[in-house]
Structure 1
């Protein structure tokens, strides 16, 4: 059933894939460099997480091949509902949004389900233990490679800035086939 939505544009609306990426911490991340070094750079020890963690709640339009996301301190149903409302604003109300997502418990809260029914959002659940069926999962590999690896961000705001820069660059340079 998911194959039909992924391979064929829906006649009455977009197919959007959703998932959470994180937790994102402010600490040095191991990575690779493209030049020779005489000895490896050591990462400083980080025993405390004074900045806390953040989560990137991300969407991927399967047919337009566009990615976007919102950084939030938590990933409860309240935050999910908040970003769903932002998603709904991106498309005309008469267009039905087909949303592919996993079975994470905040996605199944009654408030969320009611909002989706009232706002023309059709939820498509991936099978349990099959998150790899969600098309957004392969997008996170590039986020890890180009935004997270080999970095030492000083704040969540700096990390958010680089996530947004990556998304703008990626969306601008992605070819539709």
Structure 2
């Protein structure tokens, strides 16, 4: 029995199953990532927080009382955040994990860096005009006042630790109850 070599073999069932290792990228290109970021920024700008407050006052004038109620709506700007962007896009991992997994993909590095720059810039601008809490913005952006404390000897010389003998150490143990 001879086989016709011109006929292609049909692939087995296993070859038709999608690869279970890894999952396809949710965001397929760098331009799609940027478009989603622009849509997120538009959403933040077009949907500010609204804080409603109300007050009630009773006043009397010439024997007449009046009751007034006042309601105010204060519109507050929302900050761009990488957490919010991930939630908006359906990225189910932290931004740092998303970044680590996509930095090597073609064209993603400059888009990721630009997204981080725009988010930080908007947050810092908002903190500078007291729209956003400056302490939270500093934490989100890794900004901190760092104080380095150095121990120096007399007149700024290098501090020299005293050398202790075994008797000195035992005496200190007795004094401190060790």
Give the number of the structure whose residues are more often strand, by fraction. 1
Give the number of the structure whose residues are more often helix, by fraction. 2
Category of TM-score, reference length = shorter chain: under 0.3
Q: Taking CA–CA contacts closer than 8 Å with sequence separation of 6 or more, which of the two structures ends up with the larger relative contact order? A: 1
- Structure with max Cα Rg: 2
